[in-house]
Structure 1
Amino acid sequence: MKKRIFILICISSFLLTGCWDSTELNDVSIVTGIAIDPGKEKRYRLTVGYVNASILSPQIPFEGAPVSVMTLEGNSLPEISARMNIGVSRKLVFSHTRALYINEEVAKNDGVGSFLDSLERNPQFRNDFNILITKGDSAEKFPTINDPVERVPSLKVQKQIKSILKNWGGDPRVRLTDFIDAIVSQGRSPIASSVTIEGNPEKGKNVESNMETKAPARILLAGIAVFEKDKLAGYLSLEDTRNYLWTQKLESTMVTIPCGKHGEELKEKLYFDLAIMNNKSTIKTFYKGDQPHLKVDIYSEARLTSMQCNEDLSKKETYLDLEQKSSKYVKDMIVATIKKVQDEFGLDIFGFGEALHRQNYQKAKEVEEKWDEEFARADVDVNVHVAIRRSGIRNKSFLSEVPANKED
C-alpha cells in the first residue's frame, strides 16, 4: 500500500511542472504608454512607449533613455500590435499600460469606438489606465516627454492625475469601462481627460533635458473632452471640470472666494480660502408638465485656510456670513458650467438622464431617444450648503491688527 502511494506521488510530481509558461524579466519590455494618431498611409499610426523591466527596480542601476518608442501604421490595433516585433526584440507586455493618448483628430473624425472595442476584448489590458485626448500636438509626442523626477513619462502622468484629483479635483477618473458604459447609455454622454504639452516637445524628449533646472517641456492636464457617443465634440476647461466634479464625486479641493459683493472695490480684491474636506452631491431629474427640471443638491464641509478679509472669526455671525458667501459662489460656478454644457454641446455629461431612469422609468422611456434635446432645454436648480468646520489655529487674522487695515 505504501509503495502504491509512493508511486502515485512520484507520478503526480511529473504533472506539477511549475511555472512552465513563465517569462523572465530580461525577455520582456513593459508598455506604459500607447499613442494613437491618424495614419499617413493606413487608418491608424500606433506608437508604444516601453521600458526595460529592470528600470522599474530601484535596486538595479540603469543608464540611458528611460523609455523607447516604436511606431507602426495599420488599420486596426490588433494588427499593429502583432507586428510590433519587427522592430522590438523583446515581448511587449501591455498589462501595465498607464496612459492611452488619443489624437484629437482621430477622436473627432473617426471616433474612438473601434479601437476601444479591441482594448476591451484583450485580456492583457486592465481597467486602470487613463484615457487622454491630446490637444495641439500629435499623440506620439506624449510618451516621450521626459521629466527630471519621474523616469517614465506615462507613470509621471498617472501620478500627476492622482495628485490633482486628491488636491484640487481636476480629473474625472474615467476608465475604459466607464467610457464604454457612457457610449451605450441613453442618459449620459462620455467624457475623458485632455492633456497638452507646454514648451518644446522636441527638446523635452532628450534625456539631457533632465539636467536642466526648468524642464523644456511638460505635459499639462487641460480639463475634459466631451464626446457625442464615440466622437469628440469639444472641451471644458479645468475650472469647468472641477465644477462638473462638484455634481459627481469630488474628493477634495481648494476654493478662493472674494470677501465682498460685486461693486465693493476694496473687498473684491481680498479673498478667503476654503479647503473642501467632504462633499456629498445628489442629482434629480423630474418634469413639471412638459418642462424638464434638473436639480442638484450639494453639501460640503470645509476648513478655513486663509483669511484676507477684515472679519472677526470669534463671532458666530462671521461664520454664517462666510458660509453664505461660499455657498453662493460655488452655486454660481456650477450653474454656469451646467448651462455652458447645455448651450455649447447639448450633451448630458452629468448623468441627469440616468437619474431620470432611476426615479421615473416610464417618463425616461418616453424621452430617451431625444434626451439630449430635453437636457439642453431643461431648467437648472442648484442648492449648495458649505459648512465651515475649522479655522486653523487662530481666529482673527493678524492682518486686521495692521493699522492701515483697521476699520474706522
Structure 2
Amino acid sequence: MIRVIIAVSMFALLLGGCSSYSELNKTAVIVGLGIDYDSKKNLYEVTFQAINPTEKSTSASAGRALPVVVFSSKGKTISEAARKSTERFSRENDYSHIAIIMIGEELARKAGINYLFDVFERDGRIRVNVPLMIAKKEKAKNVMNILPSIEDPAASLESKLKNSAQLLGETSYTKIYQVIAALESNGEEPVISGIGISGNVEQGLTKKNYEKLFYTHTQLNGLGMFKKGKLIGWIEGNKAKSVQIIKNTIKGSNLSLYCSKKNYTSLQLRYSKSKAKVIMRDNKPIITVNVKAIGVIDESLCNRNISSLSGIKSFEKEASSNYGKLIREGIDYAQDYKCDVFGFGEMLRKSNLKEWQKVQGKWEKTFPKAEVQVTVDFKIEGTGMRVQPYPF
C-alpha cells in the first residue's frame, strides 16, 4: 500500500510540473556579464554574453555562427538594465552559468564598487563565487567581446585568469564574496585583476579575428587596488606577487636569479607559506612576515656549479634575498598608496582587538607608518632532469 501511495505521489508531481521551469529554447544561457558606467548620464550599462545554441549544435550549420551572442542595455540600476534587455533580446536570461563578471575601469574609479554587488547577493540566481576582473583602460563591453581563437570569450577569460594566478602569481583569482568581505572590513582593501586589449580592437570584435595568426587578444595586467570602494591604482609585475604570497593564495611562480654576464637561472616555485603578524609598539604598527618557500631549478643560463651542496646553498641564499625583496617592494608600494591590500589591519583586529580599536578609524594613515620586517627561508629541492648546465 505504501508503494502505491509513493508511486501516485510521484506521478502527481510529474503532472504538476515545476513553477520555476523554463523551456530551453526560450532561455538565454548567460556566461559572462560586463558592467560599465556612463558618468555623464549616471547610467549603468550591462553587457550580456549568451551561448549561441546554433554554434553549439551538431547540425550542418554549426561552425558558421559566432560562439556567443551579445546584447547590452542601460538603466539607473543593474536590475533595471537587466530588465530592459528584454527589449533587445527575445529570451529569458539564465544567470546560473556565469563564468566571469567584468567591471569597466570608469565604473571602478568614478562610481566605485561599494554597492555594485548588492544585486548579486539579493538575487539567488547569481552565484557569489564567480570571479571578477577589471577592464584596464577599457570598457568592460569591449574586453568581453574580443573573440579568442579558441573557446568562448567568457570561458577564455576565466581560464586565462585561473591559469595565470596559479602559474605566474601576478594576478589573483578574486571572487565576488571575497571582494564583499574586504569591502565590509575596516582592515583590508580588495584587489581585482586587470585585463586589457592587445592589438586592433575593431578586428577583435569581428569573426575575422579567427582568421589571423597574430590575432587581437586580451592580456592580464596587474591588480587593481581599491580604497573605500574606488579603484585608486595598479600594482603590477613582481610587486603584485607579494599580495598572493602574504595571503597564502600563491600556487606557483618563477624567480629569476642573476648569474653572470647578464644571464639568469630560473627557479620554479613549488611551495610558499607565509606567517604574518602585526603588533603595536609606541602607537606604531610592527609588521613581521616570515616565509618558507621551496623551488626547483628549471633552467640555467650560466656555468655556475649546481652539482655541489655549496652551489645549491649559494642559489638558496640569493633566492631568499630576491623573494624577500619582492615582498618588501609590494608592501612599500601599497604603503605609498595608503592602501592595505594585504589585510594587516584585519590581522591586528583578530589578534588584539583592544589595540585595533585605537587605530580602527585611522588605519589608512597608520598603515603607511608601519615598520616592516620580512624573513624568507627559500630551499631548492631539485635541478630537474639535468644537473650540470651546458657550457657557455
**TM-score calculated relative to the size of structure 1:** 0.89
1:63 maps to what in 2?
64
1:236 maps to what in 2?
235
Q: Does 1:356 align with 2:348?
A: yes
- 1:218-263 CA-to-partner distances (Å, cap 9, x unmatched) read 111111111112111111113322132221221111111112xxxx
- Alpha-carbon distance, 1:7 to partner: 7.5
Please give the alpha-carbon distance, in whole angstroms, between the structure 2 residues aligned to 1:357 and 1:114.
25
Answer yes or no: is the 8 Å Cα contact 1:28–1:53 preserved in 2: no
Which one-letter code corresponds to 2:133 in the other structure?
A: L
Please give the alpha-carbon distance, in whole angstroms, between the structure 2 residues aligned to 1:391 and 1:180.
42
- 1:57-104 CA-to-partner distances (Å, cap 9, x unmatched) read 679934312222212111001111112111111111112112222121
1:27 maps to what in 2?
26
- 1:39-59 CA-to-partner distances (Å, cap 9, x unmatched) read 354421222121234645679
Please give the alpha-carbon distance, in whole angstroms, between the structure 1 residues aligned to 2:46 and 2:361.
35
Please give the alpha-carbon distance, in whole angstroms, between the structure 1 residues aligned to 2:252 and 2:37.
37
Q: Please list, as runs of the form range in 1=range in 2, the aligned pairs for 1:168-207 lying within 5 A after superposition.
A: 168-207=168-207
Please give the alpha-carbon distance, in whole angstroms, between the structure 1 residues aligned to 2:34 and 2:251.
29
Q: Does 1:14 align with 2:15?
A: no
Q: Please list, as runs of the form range in 1=range in 2, the aligned pairs for 1:240-319 lying within 5 A after superposition.
A: 240-248=239-247, 249-259=249-259, 267=260, 269-319=262-312
Please give the alpha-carbon distance, in whole angstroms, between the structure 1 residues aligned to 2:387 and 2:87.
67
2:52 maps to what in 1?
52
* Equivalent of 1:346 in 335, 338, 345: 338
Please give the alpha-carbon distance, in whole angstroms, between the structure 1 residues aligned to 2:373 and 2:234.
24
- Alpha-carbon distance, 1:17 to partner: 3.2
Answer yes or no: is the 8 Å Cα contact 1:222–1:237 preserved in 2: yes
Please give the alpha-carbon distance, in whole angstroms, between the structure 2 residues aligned to 1:253 and 1:162.
13
* Equivalent of 2:318 in 314, 325, 328: 325
Change (3 A) 1:156 1:324: same
Answer yes or no: is the 8 Å Cα contact 1:25–1:53 preserved in 2: no
Aligned length: 388
Which one-letter code corresponds to 1:312 in the other structure?
A: N
Q: Does 1:391 align with 2:383?
A: yes
- Alpha-carbon distance, 1:119 to partner: 1.5
Change (3 A) 1:391 1:85: same
**TM-score calculated relative to the size of structure 2:** 0.93
Please give the alpha-carbon distance, in whole angstroms, between the structure 1 residues aligned to 2:375 and 2:146.
43
- Alpha-carbon distance, 1:311 to partner: 2.0
Q: Please list, as runs of the form range in 1=range in 2, the aligned pairs for 1:68-147 lying within 5 A after superposition.
A: 68-147=69-148
Answer yes or no: is the 8 Å Cα contact 1:30–1:92 preserved in 2: yes
Please give the alpha-carbon distance, in whole angstroms, between the structure 1 residues aligned to 2:270 and 2:367.
31
**Matched residue SS, 2:250:** coil
Answer yes or no: is the 8 Å Cα contact 2:303–2:390 preserved in 1: no
Change (3 A) 1:184 1:72: same
Answer yes or no: is the 8 Å Cα contact 1:224–1:238 preserved in 2: no
Let me know the Cα RMSD of the aligned residues.
Answer: 2.1
Please give the alpha-carbon distance, in whole angstroms, between the structure 1 residues aligned to 2:226 and 2:6.
62
Larger Rg: 1
Please give the alpha-carbon distance, in whole angstroms, between the structure 1 residues aligned to 2:320 and 2:275.
16
Q: Please list, as runs of the form range in 1=range in 2, the aligned pairs for 1:361-380 lying within 5 A after superposition.
A: 361-380=353-372
**Matched residue SS, 1:311:** coil
The alignment-based identity, stated in percent, is: 25
Structure 2, gaps ≥5 residues long: none
Answer yes or no: is the 8 Å Cα contact 1:169–1:242 preserved in 2: yes
Answer yes or no: is the 8 Å Cα contact 1:100–1:130 preserved in 2: yes
**Matched residue SS, 1:115:** coil
1:263 maps to what in 2?
none
Which one-letter code corresponds to 1:135 in the other structure?
A: K
Please give the alpha-carbon distance, in whole angstroms, between the structure 2 residues aligned to 1:46 and 1:171.
25
Please give the alpha-carbon distance, in whole angstroms, between the structure 2 residues aligned to 1:392 and 1:305.
6
Which one-letter code corresponds to 1:106 in the other structure?
A: L
Please give the alpha-carbon distance, in whole angstroms, between the structure 2 residues aligned to 1:7 and 1:292.
69
